Amino acid sequence: MRATRVIVNIFLESLKWRDKERIMRLFADRIRWYIPGNKDATEWIGYQTTKGEVEAYFDLLWSAIKPIFADTLPEDSYAVLRALSTE
């Protein structure tokens, strides 16, 4: 459980500072990532299957939005993450 918390906190801290290089080190070369929503209304919605697509996702997302909040998880809190792996 501690390893998961460390990874989540690295991800959240990296989002906070928009540190794409650090975020990208958390992703495998091949992934299955889906962001639900209306793809016709928002370009960053949909499936990403490669690390390059995730990098492009963050470029597009961050060019279109202003950050509001990102923080790390305190020791006594929980996060729910859904992840699927074929390996």
Is 71 domain-assigned? no
Is 10 domain-assigned? yes
Is 87 domain-assigned? no
Evaluate if residue 81 carries a pLDDT over 70. Answer: no
Is 43 domain-assigned? yes
Structural domain boundaries, residue 11: 2-64
Is 72 domain-assigned? no
Question: Where on the phi/psi map is residue 5: left (φ > 0), alpha (ψ -120 to 50), or beta?
Answer: alpha
What is the tens place of the pLDDT at every residue in 20-63? 999 999 999 999 988 888 888 888 888 999 999 999 999 988 88
Is 18 domain-assigned? yes
Is 74 domain-assigned? no
Confidence of residue 8 (pLDDT cuts 50, 70, 90): confident
Map tokens 């202003």 to a residue.
66
